[in-house]
Amino acid sequence: MALERGSDLLKKLHGGKQPFNDKTLASLASILELKGSKLIGWLPRGTPVWESVEATVQLATGDAGHAIQTLVNDHHLAWNARVFPRGIPVPDIAILQLEIQGIRQ
């Protein structure tokens, strides 16, 4: 019986994700296309091939739900999101922190 490489075993255990690619970037771009959205910062993870991207986006509070729905509708995307409403006395902007990972097979 041939031994399995450690990296191959980790790929199996990690849900069969592929490295970050153009489709993943397109999902992030679709959120940034919302009117009034502003990219505050982003950070690629993984060397030399990107495994994920962390992005912080500022949106109108009404667009935060649409941004999350865009991610939910993409069934091949692995992602985590946190939404922080900002504004006193009524929130008028939302800060969306995203981690978009590789495409699941």
Q: How many domains does the chain have?
A: 1
90: in domain: yes
> Residue 51: what are its φ and ψ, rounded to 5°?
-100, -30
Query: With 0-12 CB in 10 A as exposed, 13-18 as middle and 19+ as buried, what is 33?
Result: exposed
**Residue 2 resides in a domain:** no
User: Are the CB atoms for 62 and 49 separated by under 8 Å?
Assistant: no
Which of 12-16, 25-29, 60-64, 74-78 shows the lowest mean pLDDT across its residues? 12-16
In this predicted model, what pLDDT tens digit does every residue of 34-69 receive, in sequence order? 778 888 998 988 777 777 889 899 999 888 888 888
* Residue at 12 is within a domain: no
Which CATH number is 40's domain given? 3.30.1360.100
Residue 62 lies inside a defined structural domain of this protein = yes
- Phi, psi of 23, rounded to the nearest 5 degrees: -65, -40
Q: What share of residues in the chain are helix, strand, coil (percent, to 5)? A: 30, 40, 30
